[in-house]
Structure 1
Amino acid sequence: MHQFEKLKIWQKAMDITESVYRVCTDLPQEEKFNLTSQMKRCSVSIPSNSAEGSGRNSKNEFAHFLAIANGSTFELITQLMISKRLKLIDDLKITPIINELVEVSNMNFALQKTLKNQ
């Protein structure tokens, strides 16, 4: 693939990463090395693994890295829900990000399926 910047899943994941970094500024300072750090790492993992997989030598390797990205997607959804339950971030800020993550996850599963069927 090699031109990961053209992948819609990568582009959307980059947008999500920006949103997560912005919303993390609302988290309390005491969460800087806990939830904030974990959420940022998960958000970065999604486009990073999509890009890394696209540069691999086989479709199976690409699908493997997409699976890792999808794991980070669900991990981030969970962390956002934890933030919501603890009332650390307003629901109005979290819900759009979760919706985008679900969309990226659906795109990811579809791309993995396409790679496996080729």
Structure 2
Amino acid sequence: MKVQRFEDLIAWQKAREWLKAIYALTRDGGFAKDSGLRDQFQRAVVSIMSNLAEGFERGSRPVFHRFVVIAKAPCAEVRSQRYMAFDTGYITEAQLQQLHAQANELARILGGLRISLETQN
């Protein structure tokens, strides 16, 4: 299947799922009151989706590749922030593990997309 729109990208779809999960977690309890961590957590996950969309829409493989690389950085940021959320008691062990699984899947997909773009003619 040829990707016609950024919405067709598996990486973008997975980032969207992760965004929904993170927004659901940050909406309640102590997390909702910690505006610093909550806002940074949300901004980072939004950045992943936004970089994938923007890079794809630029219409150039090298530019898209650069934006995929850029999207990996906030992915790592969110992966780190999930530990902060756990260590401060904002999320449970089960929620940490769920975020961990989503983070690893998205990082793997972004890495594969990056490599694919590097090797295409």
Q: Residues 1-118 of structure 1 correspond to what in structure 2 (within 5 A)? A: 3-28=5-30, 29-32=32-35, 34-118=36-120
Q: Deviations over 1:62-108 (max 9, x none)?
A: 11111111101000010111111122211211221221111111111
Q: Is the 8 A contact 1:39 1:76 kept in 2?
A: yes
Identity %: 28
Report the TM-score when normalising by structure 2.
0.89
Q: Which amino acid aligns with 2:81?
A: Q
Any stretches of 5+ residues in structure 2 without a counterpart?
A: none
Q: Is the 8 A contact 1:10 1:47 kept in 2?
A: yes
| Count of matched residue pairs | 117
Report the TM-score when normalising by structure 1.
0.91
Runs of 4 or more off by more than 3 Å in structure 1?
none
Any stretches of 5+ residues in structure 1 without a counterpart?
A: none
Instruction: Kindly report the root-mean-square deviation, in angstroms, between the aligned alpha carbons of the 2 structures.
Output: 1.4
